[in-house]
Amino acid sequence: MADTAFDVVVIGGGPGGYIAAIRAAQLGFRTACIDDWSRADGKPAPGGTCTNVGCIPSKALLQSSEHFEHAGHAFADHGIEIKGLALDVARMLARKDKVVVQNNDGILHLFKKNKVTFFHGTGSFTGPRIDAGWPIAVAGAAAAALTATHVVVATGSKPRPLPGVAIDNRLVLDNAGALALPAVPKRLGVVGAGVIGLEMGSVWRRLGSQVTVLEALPVFLGAVDEAVAKEALKLFTRQGLAIHTGAAITAVTPAKNEVKVSWTDAAGKTQDTVFDRLIVSIGRVPHTSGLGAEAAGLRLDARGFVEVDAECRTNLPQVWAVGDVVRGPMLAHKAEEEGVAVAERIAGQHGHVDFNTVPWVIYTAPEIAWVGQTEQQLKAAGVAYRSGKFPFLANGRARALGDTSGFVKILADATTDRILGMHVIGPMASELISEGVVAMEFGASSEDLARICHAHPSLSEATREAALAVDGRALNF
Ligand code: FAD
Ligand code: NAI
């Protein structure tokens, strides 16, 4: 077999692609992964949006900015005084960049370890399937012509543009620019109160920016459980984020060193607000340019996503697609799950991904996390349910941490008691939510959770108490 003939070629090395490649190689397939992301010095930077300008760098900056805020505002309460607290943004960004490179290198190491052949460049279909398989060209420093029995498309997503607004990543920023601001802007505008807007808005607010968030929809965090969204709006506003829902942007006018945003507020009043920097975070769109979809006859849907069935099969035989480039939540762990499932299906196994048990996390402070159905979804579907809620204010560990905002809420079927959803706003919600995911995957009832012994003192006791509260018998509230 020529060394350009592969059983599986994965196009895209983000969480969907690199994980699919590793799993395919583990299953014994001759596997290649092609990814075009480069570091500033031109070296490969596999890991996609998530590693380079998404999950990883945003969490690095969220951590650094939280330390800064705690040092400035929370430590004194613990009897720790810091004199001459100073911020070194360049060092903070350098640390973030180092974390990113560690992750890029980790993926290159995993490719080697699992015998995945890595190509740094752009992968594209060059035409329909031939006898040897799908013809795939790699353009870039390591140009190559490959054939693949199976292809996994994992080309990810890119920021949705705001019509008429050019991103220059100096004044008007997308996620990449928002993660690389060289100094703290005094006045920071954010268009879109979604996950990126709230996380990046939190980072720069903690570091000293006056942050204004302009959201088009009349409701705040409409996809989140209403009680959680209400609590979040209250807490974020108290922290200093100015959040305007029902805001219609009419013009964005950059000047020399500032940018004017003209908008109409919820009451219909026109406003002009001047910012030093503006983040545009209004969602993401699938990325398929350069893929040669047309050459192969790969079908895209009306919104540009690669069309797939429930098992990630495209319209072409032995061509699969996973992650942000297909329907479903745009989350790294969803992309990974699909990557694993596809590799296993190629091997004749039964890969499985259940969107209902994919957890969501917004890494603000407090964190927001949920899995399953929201209360408004259950109402709309006419499902009879019981709800149990427990505030962190009544949790000993939260008090010791000095972080008592928020609550855990569990929703269970009124007849069977099966857990239908778990919603958390509070400290370490990102970790706490796993218990809800496990419970739902195992078809647990709220009583099951309530009967499990949880360590004391721990935040997870709030989960148990919320489960007890479903039956009206919380012990500590
Ligand atoms: P991507 O990660 O986008 O990877 C696709 C890769 O394919 C890229 O490297 C791209 O350059 C490459 N590529 C594209 N076309 C080609 C081609 N023709 N040839 C070769 N290579 C190609 N999700 C979470 O779950 N948790 C988070 O905390 C989180 N934080 C985020 C923060 C930000 C600021 C952003 C923007 C996103 C965040 N996400 C988060 C979402 C997450 O990044 C995506 O869901 C995830 O990266 C999708 O993985 P993917 O493999 O489908 O695509
Ligand atoms: P988003 O979909 O989360 O939020 C976009 C927001 O912009 C929405 O509230 C929407 O109503 C609003 N909007 C749309 N058009 C607008 C306009 N013209 N003017 C004002 N507001 C407008 O998208 P976001 O924040 O860009 O993030 C993209 C995706 O990346 C997320 O959906 C998520 O899947 C992923 N992500 C995940 C993270 C995590 O898991 N912690 C962190 C960051 C991103």
Is residue 96 in contact with ligand 2, taking CB distance under 6 Å?
A: no
Which residue is closest in CA terms to ligand 1's atom 35?
Answer: 54
Q: Does the pLDDT at position 462 exceed 90?
A: yes
Structure confidence at residue 250 (pLDDT): 97
How many angstroms separate the CA atoms of 329 and 439, rounded?
21
Catalytic annotation, residues: 456
Residue whose CB lies within 8 A of the most ligand 1 atoms, among 23, 55, 173, for a mutation test:
55
Residue whose CB lies within 8 A of the most ligand 2 atoms, among 51, 61, 62, 195, for a mutation test:
195
Peptide bond into 366 cis (omega under 30): yes
Contact 306, 326 (CB under 8 A): yes
**Is the model's pTM score more than 0.95?**
yes
Q: Kindly report, residue by residue over 170-216, the tens digit of the pLDDT.
A: 999 999 999 999 999 999 999 999 999 999 999 999 999 999 999 99
Which residue is closest in CA terms to ligand 1's atom 7?
Answer: 12
Strand-pair category, 360-362 with 367-372? antiparallel
Q: What angle do CA 416, 422, 425 make, to 5 degrees?
A: 155
Average pLDDT over the chain reads 97
| Torsion angle of the four alpha carbons 236, 242, 247, 248, in this order, in degrees rounded to the nearest 10 | -120
Q: Regarding predicted confidence, which is higher, 111 or 140?
A: 111
Strand-pair category, 144-153 with 134-139? antiparallel
| Torsion angle of the four alpha carbons 306, 311, 314, 317, in this order, in degrees rounded to the nearest 10 | 160
Which residue is closest in CA terms to ligand 2's atom 28?
Answer: 283
How many angstroms separate the CA atoms of 190 and 278, rounded?
6
Point out the ligand nearest to the CA of residue 358.
1
Point out the ligand nearest to the CA of residue 18.
1
Atom of ligand 1 nearest to the CA of 331: 45
Q: Kindly report, residue by residue over 47-91, the tens digit of the pLDDT.
A: 999 999 999 999 999 999 999 999 999 999 999 999 999 999 999
Q: Does the pLDDT at position 1 exceed 60?
A: no
Structure confidence at residue 235 (pLDDT): 98
Q: Kindly report, residue by residue over 23-33, the tens digit of the pLDDT.
A: 999 999 999 99
Q: Kindly report, residue by residue over 380-422, the tens digit of the pLDDT.
A: 999 999 999 999 999 999 999 999 999 999 999 999 999 999 9
Structure confidence at residue 385 (pLDDT): 98
- Rounded to a whole number, what is the distance in angstroms from the first to the last CA of the chain? 68
With a pLDDT cut of 70, the percent of the chain lying above it is: 100
Distance 35 CA to ligand 1 centre (A): 11
